[in-house]
Amino acid sequence: MNISLQSLFKEISVFFIIGLLLIYRYVDIGLEQNQVILFSLYYFFAVLTFVFSRLRFNSPINPISIFVPFLFLLSYSFLQLSENQSVYSFHTLVIINVSIIAYLIFASLEYSYQPLKFTKIDNNLRVKFLRFFILMAFVTLVIECFMFGYIPIFNITGLDVYNDSNTKLVPFLHYFIVINAFIPTWSYIFLKEKLISKQEFKIVLFLSIFILLNYLSKQMYLLFGLSFFVSYSFYNELKLKNLFKAISIIILVFLFLGYLRLDSETTFSAAELYRAYAGIKNENVSVIESFFVLYSSVRFTVLNEMVNFSDEIHYLGSGIYTFRPFTSLFLLEKTGIIQRIPELDSENRVGTFLADPYLDFGFFGVFFLNAFYGFSALRYYRQYKDKYPEAIVKFSIIVFCLLMGMFVNYFNSMLIWLGILFNKFIIGGLVKKSKI
């Protein structure tokens, strides 16, 4: 899809008008001048980055544009709206800016993007893998329901549902539940490639969604939604109406899950509740702004705290964050062989995806790991555009990791590693046959 200058001008105009209105608002409610200036610099840098991405790739969804939401949220974090926020140290600013530069450079370059060759797998074996995974996921659900003492989907408003479905889990077997986030996408690919019937696809889809609904995991819901939507757009002409519907559904699901975790009997308004939760005393701050502060701005403050503390004690993790799936698989943390410092526990403290590279490898890790993220984003995007079916899940994973980058580094999670590994087994080497 070729971009028109008129369309691009309209997009730029909208972003600039929004930016100017926000600047006026935050000056008007009394924020310090230096905060507004920093917000403006990073906001308009995000706008220019989006413009560059459109010119570079001729598509609104590309390896650079998927990084832009993170840049917008970063710009917003310079506005000190909450008493829980702090001014970033020099080291934190260096980490932030080096991460951005490394990612954008390597997401812009050109290099070979053909998927790595793998042992050729018979299509019948691919289907058997899929059936095995859905069967084991269902068996795991049954076992864990016995541990819960109930079926979560039929007790959705219960007080213990969220905790039980995230803590009372069967070691190792629960990985099949994790993998289940990808099963609807794999089954849709098999349907389009005529490896399974429409009836089998419907059965697998029903079972998979039923299993997912029993675990109140925003991460798995988002990954399922993204990968399935990307698979749909891979085989079908993408319409803006469908995109809007998909985004709306994702937002509604997240809001609903958030509601389940709030006290339904509270007498506070939503705005008061979010302001109190986010540590905001200014009554001029809206509920939407409070939401952004709580789920983005404060996360950068946590990053700043972890960076400063690690500098004080001269800490170097040497890979315990980056290779967390290995430490989890071999129970190195549960057995106490590896122990995390509570102040530097990025998974529990939630200090954005930028924390782990620095905690593990210092500034070397900041540059090279973010370069690797940018390299992977471009590589998988090019594979997707060149119609390699295995790129559907891989590119979805990159988008997911960057969207969740405000919270933790999902590049280091078992969910992602298993997704990439088993995607290679099930979809790797498959050649697109169907026509759009």
In this prediction the pTM is 0.89
Residues 197, 367: Cα–Cα separation, whole Å:
46
pLDDT value at residue 361: 97
Domain range for 31: 1-60
| Cβ proximity of 138 and 408 under 8 Å | no
CA distances from 422 to 179, 205, 243 (A): 8, 18, 27
Q: Is residue 50 part of a domain?
A: yes
Taking the C-alpha atoms of residue 225 and residue 16, their distance in angstroms, rounded to an integer, is 31
Please tell me the total count of domains within the chain.
1
In a domain, 5, yes or no: yes
Q: Which residues contact 278 (CB under 8 A, 6 or more apart)?
A: 81, 82, 84, 290, 293, 294, 298
Position 253 scores a pLDDT of 60
pLDDT of residue 11: 82
- Inside any domain, residue 266: no
Nearest to 381 by CA among 369, 372, 391, 371: 391
436 residues of the chain, pLDDT tens digit each? 456 777 788 888 999 999 999 999 999 988 999 999 999 999 999 999 999 999 999 888 899 999 999 999 999 999 999 999 999 999 999 999 999 999 999 999 988 788 887 777 889 999 999 999 999 999 999 999 888 888 888 776 665 666 666 677 888 899 999 999 999 999 999 999 999 999 999 999 999 999 998 887 888 999 999 999 999 989 987 665 666 666 666 666 655 555 555 444 444 555 677 677 778 887 888 878 888 898 889 999 999 999 999 999 999 999 999 999 998 888 788 788 888 899 999 999 999 999 999 999 999 999 999 999 999 999 999 999 999 999 999 999 999 999 999 999 999 999 999 999 999 989 998 876 654 4
Maximum C-alpha span of the chain? 66
**Closest to 107 measured CA to CA, from 78, 70, 74, 66:** 66
Tokens (6 digits) for 367: 């540059």
The number of CA neighbours under 13 Å toward the Cβ of 364 is: 6
Residue 18 lies in a domain: yes
Q: Which residues lie below 8 Å from residue 342, measured CB to CB, with a gap of 6+?
A: 348
Q: Is 45 a member of any domain? A: yes
Q: Tokens 């925003």 — which residue?
A: 218
Structural domain contains residue 56: yes
pLDDT score recorded for residue 263:
46
CB 39 within 8 A of CB 75: yes
Q: Say how far apart CA 159 and CA 146 lie, in whole Å.
A: 18
Domain-embedded: residue 21: yes
Flag whether 42 is in a domain: yes
- Measure Cα distances from 146 to 155, 165, 251, 366 in Å: 14, 12, 31, 44
Cα of 393 vs its chain's centroid, Å:
13
- Please, what is the Cα angle at 363 between 401 and 108, to 5 degrees? 50
The whole-number pLDDT of residue 248 equals 64
Nearest-angstrom CA–CA distance, 5 and 11: 10
DSSP at 295: I
Question: How many C-beta atoms surround the C-beta of residue 314 within 10 A?
Answer: 6
Give the DSSP H or E segment for 394: helix 391-403
Is residue 289 within 8 Å of residue 25, measured between CB atoms? no
Report the 10 Å Cβ neighbour count for 313: 10
Contact 106, 57 (CB under 8 A): no
